Chain A
């Protein structure tokens, strides 16, 4: 099975869960015997990626891609500005549209040489290239939706140009994979795709990648001290964008503090809403209880999970939400919005509508007051998350490739 895999990022140059998911999925597919050609829009070394052939569509360095990540759809210019412009004239790769054009052109050259059995494209930035590769090779196109423009834009409409790209590719795809039922519903209801075209394959977690990590209580020493005094540490780790519902979470935090004083909140991450959130904490009078870490990776990133008692995912629209599984692995109790797909695969969690700050506040206080509830949630979810393996994800993909190749759906 030769797979032409079209992605936008791989660790360590990932801006979020997309790169992590692509990495583990490809690795698990390779372990099951698949040959993978993986196309990236930039040039870099990826340690540990020896199980597939990585192609670099441009000479861009990872650090040059400011506002060109898969989550930066609002920086996407109109299609018209570059339509008809020859790629060589597309300039110096300083705009996302230009990079995307180069990427597509590169794939147009590569695909006929490889003659893949199946083309597997991840999210909107690679979808055009996927459609072109299908046209040139006749191989079936599988579009894997990790997030739609509706998810990225939170409670707003999003970028119409991106919607258009998604719409066209979803219609051209031979099969669509959605990372949750929530995402499948969006694809069906908002893009008008027939439900039987879309299969749900939930993401998983690779426990091995956490081996060798030991929590030394040093990065967040102050929070550890507060814990010894009986405080409950509530954390979130995410991009600070409207998609994540953090202003709602902040209001719930303030409401909870009205009833119970010994709560602290760790907001780990960075993003366009950072200043707004800092100001909001102050306006609500809980500035002393909210800790902003800035962007974290490596040990500081894992230590967020380790110091936290409770992990909150407050997303307005979260196709999956890998961080919840990572938090579960590190022993957190999980509070997950009903709009987050990861909630479909976990039972030992508390859920709330992202806008329901009263309910979330009530849950926060309830956990802080009850060690039995906290430990029940922690112990329960530990039993559950470990059953979600990338090997199973790969098995489902290979089964789907087989069916799509034989034209069962045609």
Chain B
């Protein structure tokens, strides 16, 4: 019986908000253009991650495609990433294009801006998915058939939406409390859908690479490719599918080259394929490789982040909820303004990363947040972000000649429109 791995790597860089001060509001409208030596200089970070991860990992993947005709994998690439790659490092984008041109690399659909719009505005969400579809087609010449929402934030409603939108496959976290006795190593059918199929991340084996690989305190350290192949075989048993989902930046950025991550990965792909009937799939092929083992329902949203696997990393405290409320309260006035720069600034402020930096879940996940945050504290992240939101509001007022009633109404999170 054949069994396969669907490897899916997520590629993203946000536009981080600079220390935009209350004194900048109404004075200058650039939120993402820091050019100093700090961790908020987007261009500098992009170059750093390109050197550590994007360039060596795309080269490695290209080599694996060239060496193994049966190697397949999938990528999700955000619009934020593509924009920055075009701006800062076009060679990186060319490397990704070459991978996709092999015909063995699938690109997964998502929102252009890595946003949580699905939970605030379906109109805005659909607009961003459409923008992403168009961008992917323009850059890579392909049209995605699988969908993933930002941070794998998934529930039954999302599956129904993706089904209606014509996607064949949708991705989610294989979280124990939802699966109960079931295994993530099967294909499922989301409840209430017609055609779409659901793939679930095997988080144990995904996180062995993504989070534990370099941890010398881990009793399985060092992880070898042979041991890892054994684990996958054991986990699969008679099941058909191993879904390894993780950040692309795992390779070289989260796990540095000197941990041996690249060598490990190269050996692992070769050793896996040496086995009889062992394959690599793209996510859409993976979903068609076996019949659904059953129907699955996730009424409550599940994500791939933190020990809670819920939305609390983005909407877990009052600052995050305030920020999101004020952001989306401006939607209709922004969109109808027709001001491209204003719309794009507003959409860049929708990246879920901004909310993530405001998380205050210190006790259990604090370290992870601190690692991924370029700000001194979540409170600083909130301060700068809110100042940018206020400036966006100021720009709307100027454009639409609105007065202070508008400001105070929007400040209360109401949607207000000029007649």
Contact = CB atoms under 8 A, between A and B. Distances in A.
Interface of A: 255, 258-260, 347-351, 358-359, 361-363, 365-366, 369-373, 375-377, 380
Contact of A351 (B376, B378, B390): B376
A347 B362 contact: yes
Q: Please provide the 6 A-B residue pairs with the shortest distance between their CB atoms, ordered closest to farther.
A: A372-B322, A366-B383, A372-B318, A362-B21, A365-B22, A372-B319
Contacts of B322: 370-372
B22 A366 contact: yes
B376 A373 contact: no
Contacts of B19: 359
A197 B47 CA distance: 42
5 contacts: A348-B379, A350-B377, A359-B21, A372-B317, A373-B382
B165 to A, nearest CB: 34
A376 B360 contact: yes
B383 A363 contact: yes
Indicate the member of A258, A260, A373 with the most B CB atoms within 10 Å: A373
B321 interface: yes
Nearest to B358: A376
Interface of A is mostly: helix
A347 B319 CA distance: 16
Given A350-B380, A350-B383, A351-B377, A373 B362 contact: no
A372 B321 contact: yes
A366 B377 contact: no
Nearest to A362: B21
Given A255-B23, A358-B21, A372-B318, 14 more contacts: A259-B22, A349-B379, A351-B377, A362-B22, A362-B23, A362-B383, A362-B387, A366-B22, A370-B382, A371-B322, A372-B382, A373-B386, A376-B318, A376-B360
Contacts of B22: 259-260, 361-362, 365-366, 369
A259 B379 contact: no
B317 A358 contact: no
B235 to A, nearest CB: 38
B360 A373 contact: no
Interface in B29-78: none
Contacts of A369: 22, 386, 390
Nearest to B366: A347
Interface string B228-256: 00000000000000000000000000000
Given A358-B21, A376-B319, A376-B360, A366 B376 contact: no
Contact of A349 (B321, B377, B387): B377
Contacts of A380: 360
Interface of B is mostly: helix
Nearest to B376: A351
Contacts of A362: 21-23, 383, 387
B380 A375 contact: no
A373 B377 contact: no
Contacts of B366: 347
A372 B319 CA distance: 5
B123 to A, nearest CB: 26
B386 A366 contact: yes
Interface in B312-367: 317-319, 321-323, 360, 362, 366
A375 B382 CA distance: 13
Contacts of B321: 372
Given A375-B318, A376-B318, A376-B379, A370 B386 contact: yes
Indicate the member of B318, B379, B383 with the most A CB atoms within 10 Å: B379
B327 to A, nearest CB: 13
Contacts of B317: 372, 376
A331 to B, nearest CB: 16
B386 A347 contact: no
A396 B377 CA distance: 29
A92 B318 CA distance: 62
Contacts of A358: 21, 23
Contacts of B386: 366, 369-370, 373
A364 to B, nearest CB: 9
B23 A373 contact: no
Contacts of A351: 376-377
A377 B23 CA distance: 22
A111 to B, nearest CB: 46
A359 B384 CA distance: 11
Interface string B1-38: 00000000000000000010111010000000000000
B413 to A, nearest CB: 11
Interface string B367-394: 0000000001111101100110010000
B23 A259 contact: yes
A341 B21 CA distance: 26
A351 B378 CA distance: 12
B287 to A, nearest CB: 41
Contact of A347 (B25, B377, B380): B377
A362 B390 CA distance: 13
Indicate the member of B317, B318, B366 with the most A CB atoms within 10 Å: B318
B33 to A, nearest CB: 18
Contact of A348 (B318, B323, B360, B383): B360
Contacts of B360: 348, 376, 380
Contacts of A375: 318
Contacts of B380: 350
A349 B362 CA distance: 13
Nearest to A258: B23
Nearest to A260: B22
Indicate the member of B22, B317, B380, B382 with the most A CB atoms within 10 Å: B22
A365 B21 CA distance: 10
Contacts of A260: 22
Nearest to B360: A380
